[in-house]
Amino acid sequence: MNQPRRLQVLQAIVEDYVRYREPVGSKALVERHRLGVSSATVRNDMAALEEEGLIAAPHTSSGRIPTDKGYRTFVNRIAAVKPLSGPERRAIQSLLDDAADIDDVMERTVRLLAQLTHQVAVVQYPHASGVTVRHVELVDLGAGQVLVVLIPTNGRVVQRVAPVPAPLDEDTLLELRARVLAATTGRTLTEVHDALELAAATAPPALAAVAETVSALAAGSTEHRMAMAGTANLARATGDFNLSIGPVLEALEEQVVMLRLLSEMEQDARGVAVRIGAPSAVDPLAEAAVVATGYGPQAQSKVGVVGPMRMDYPSTMAAVRAVARYLSRILGG
């Protein structure tokens, strides 16, 4: 389909259906939009759009609603992602700049994005492939216990108590700290275990216990994780799903499914990726849309939203891209 007026009619149908959540008729289109043609002409255009599978009638003698193909055509014709307003940009910056650590950053990100888009917001934790150890701190707790604090370059501070064979004096603690730092600083999280195992072979017994704890913390920091917020928004959109929101909720809760989907999505020239529906009807997201983009080094990790296909795509795409840019800036990517 390449007729400009029919594309204009399709755009008007999508915009009105997203806004009013009701099937759209030709009379409403003529009244709300400056199409410059009669209702009869618009009806002909709508018949052509329906024949091409871009709109459909949910009930006999009703108006028309966009199909997933219609939404896709509409999204593909969005030439560029519009920038957010000044107040919106300042709100994002002020909220994310005050975050205390990576967990706080992730939590604030999804909460903010859910508020901006009125959808379910999801964010992958930064990929650990290029994450290295920035610092390791050891704190003597007495009674044969040492608090091990690992600070990787992705900002996610983790800690755990390590039991040691005997109480440590200050000199021994300083020596342990120096050996751990020498073995780990600048190494990737996946290299930490082997480096500490080698160092512990010629070190005091206490280092073995500390090394095991540091290795465990490093391994835990490489796990692929996801933060999510706004599931209540999905619950309020139950009318937009022909069947049930159950499969969508299950896909969100089963993080492996969402993480795989986000990893497979490739952003376009506008800096976003949009997935509308699914090829298979049994796909849990067959009636949903996902808008996502990458952030951080090489945009390896993704942030985005999940919601019904009846979505304000221009505003959602703008919000997702803006939040991703601030996230990259905060995390130094």
Q: Is the pLDDT of residue 154 over 80?
A: no
For a pLDDT cut of 70, what percent of the chain falls above it? Answer: 95
Taking only the tens place, the pLDDT of each residue in 116-148 is 999 999 999 886 666 788 999 999 998 888 999
Region 185-199: what's the mean pLDDT?
A: 85
Taking only the tens place, the pLDDT of each residue in 25-48 is 999 999 899 888 888 999 999 999
Q: What pLDDT does 61 receive? A: 67
Region 300-312: what's the mean pLDDT?
A: 93
Cα–Cα distance, 49 to 38 (Å, whole number): 17
* pTM, to two decimals: 0.73
Write the class of the CATH domain 133-221: alpha beta
Cα–Cα distance, 18 to 314 (Å, whole number): 11
Q: Which residue has the higher pLDDT, 333 or 299?
A: 299
Provide φ and ψ at 238, rounded to 5°: -60, -30
Tokens at residue 3, please?
């007729």
Q: What pLDDT does 119 receive? A: 96
For a pLDDT cut of 90, what percent of the chain falls above it? Answer: 41
Q: What pLDDT does 2 receive? A: 52
Region 299-322: what's the mean pLDDT?
A: 93
Assigned fold of 4-76: Arc Repressor Mutant, subunit A (1.10.10)
- So where are the chain's domains? 4-76, 86-126+226-331, 133-221
Q: Is the pLDDT of residue 316 over 60?
A: yes
Q: Which residue has the higher pLDDT, 186 or 204?
A: 186
Least confident of 41-45, 186-190, 265-269: 186-190
Enter the CATH code of domain 86-126+226-331: 3.30.450.40
Region 55-67: what's the mean pLDDT?
A: 86
Res. 263 pLDDT band, cuts 50 70 90: confident
Q: What pLDDT does 44 receive? A: 93
Taking only the tens place, the pLDDT of each residue in 215-257 is 888 877 666 788 999 999 988 887 888 777 888 988 888 887 8
Q: Is the pLDDT of residue 98 over 70?
A: yes
**Would you tell me how many other CB atoms lie within 10 Å of the CB of residue 42?**
24
DSSP-based three-state secondary structure for 231: helix
Angle between helices 102-117 and 86-97 in degrees, nearest 10: 160
Q: Is the pLDDT of residue 91 over 60?
A: yes
| Angle at alpha carbon of residue 116, lines to 320 and 290, rounded to 5° | 45
Q: Report in angstroms the alpha-carbon separations of 224 from 124, 127, 150, 259.
A: 7, 7, 18, 8
Cα–Cα distance, 43 to 192 (Å, whole number): 67
Q: What pLDDT does 272 receive? A: 95
Cα–Cα distance, 100 to 275 (Å, whole number): 33
Region 261-274: what's the mean pLDDT?
A: 90
